[in-house]
Chains A and B, each alone.
Chain A
Amino acid sequence: MKTERGQAIPVLVICLILVVVWYLACIPMNAVVAEAKIAAAGGGFAATLTESWNHARPVIPAPHQIAADLWATVFTIAPWAKKSLLYHCWVTLSSTLVGFILGTLLGIGLAILIVHSKLLSKALMPWIIASQTIPILAIAPMIIVVLGAMGFTGLLPKALISTYLCFFPVTIGMVKGLMSPDVIHRDLMHTYNASAAETLWKLRLPASVPYLFTSLKIAIAIALTGAIVGELPTGAVAGIGARLLIGSYNGLTMMIWSALVAGSVMAASLVWLVGYAERKTLARMGVRA
């Protein structure tokens, strides 16, 4: 408890400084749009502050405006309505989770193949690394278009973009984890004449669990990024990505910022959830608390 409180204070101080800087920055940033209104209100210090921080279409919305927008789009609209931010969060979250699960399975599968076959390791590794050098923004529209032509629309194409991004850290982490058992452990299994499957199941997989969770924390965050990127070329129908795009097309900065906050909260929650699962799993596996 003591250390948590010790950490909270510096974090809160930084937050406070950021908020102050933000409010100050709103004044010059919104000057262009607020100029006329400030003049109409008779100018002066008070009018400058009021108009800079409360403009209906600001360049930079003030924090309380974003908070108000979040409140309005989250709590005053039914979650299944298309205007609700929660609806868009769910659209993005569902494809994030599907992509994350597929990516994790693909990542583990590839790692198992790589660890068991030198040939496959040589054949697959360059492609796996090359896959991550292609900019996702370039390949995402093609995936959407190609899958769309094959009759797949909606959740699946977006989920596959998440899969494409998030299998990579899982593969890399799991290869390391599956190789992590000591020589003594492998020799021991050899003296028992254990099969490769038994060695995998009883030694390599349990040994790789800490590596898996480290990878999963990275994977879930980029799965979310993948889902948002996947929403951009679909014509911005729904999801956090769509809110970002519609907001920027129409100069609705508050919509953009609300979507950004929602996306960040989702990312942080997902990473925290994986961390929670990690602590529970490792505790069950007898790791020293």
Chain B
Amino acid sequence: MAAAVIEARDLSLTFQTADSPVYALSKVNLTVNDGDFVSFIGPSGCGKTTLLRVIADLEQATSGSITVNGLSPHDARLARSYGYVFQAPGLFPWRTVEKNVGLPLEIMGIGDAAERVKRNLDLVNLGGFEKKFPWQLSGGMQQRVSIARALAFDPRLLLMDEPFGALDEIVRDKLNQQLLELWERTAKTVVFVTHSIPEAVFLSTKIVVMSPRPGRIIDVIETNLPRDRTLDFREAPEFLKLAHRVREGLKAGHSYED
């Protein structure tokens, strides 16, 4: 039994707005183990991004408990436990690719930056693009730079908030394949937010199905899929069965209703 990287118990978060409170998260219980690839899937407003942001200490829970690497999210952030990949690449346009990847190293005062930058750019297949500026890269390449940036200081945990949501399906397929390979090679723990069922099923060892109003967990599916799967695997019966179960979960959570 691997150690729990993330442990949430009865976690709730309520936003106080002008007219009525918004229950973004309600009594969430979740365990993420070391080496897991966990996806949060659900429609907009189900709290999947909020949950990720609580883990990253970008939002604070109103009640319940959560630990990251056995620490509070705040202490885990100070301990540089995770790298965060946002919905948009969020590269600094005035920095070259290598300077963007080196940004966390500069701030954290980590040495051997050149070697780390090179290693992580190679990891996302962007060796040779060090001197380019972000605008010279495609959207998919920019997002890969941002993944290299998140990995630059070698955190054990990678938090990804719909990283490929803005990309077209062909690029997304390719990046899914690359991400899977990257996860296998680095043995990181990944928490991945998505609203794509195929993406969630293809990538995950554990799929967390969520539903809105209030944001809660409907179903947690352990996939136990072979690790060396390719894109073709998405036509396999096991894959379709899992996708069906995810869809049933979303239906049960009234996610398909207005």
Chain A interface (Cβ < 8 Å from any Cβ of B):
182, 184-185, 187-194, 198, 202-203, 206-207, 209, 285-288
Contacts and interface: CB of A to CB of B under 8 A. Distances in A.
Given A193-B78, A202-B107, A286 B90 contact: no
Contacts of B86: 184, 187-188
Contacts of B83: 191
B203 interface: no
A286 B108 CA distance: 25
A182 to B, nearest CB: 7
Contacts of B77: 190-191, 193
A188 B107 contact: no
A170 to B, nearest CB: 20
Given A182-B90, A188-B86, A288-B135, A202 B56 contact: no
Contacts of B57: 190-191
Nearest to B133: A286
Given A202-B107, A288-B135, A191 B58 contact: yes
- Interface SS majority for chain A: helix
B90 A191 contact: no
Contacts of A285: 93-94
A188 B84 contact: yes
B40 interface: no
B88 interface: yes
A217 B94 CA distance: 22
A198 B105 CA distance: 12
Contacts of B198: none
Contacts of B90: 182, 184-185, 188
A288 B93 CA distance: 10
B153 to A, nearest CB: 8
B58 A287 contact: no
B248 interface: no
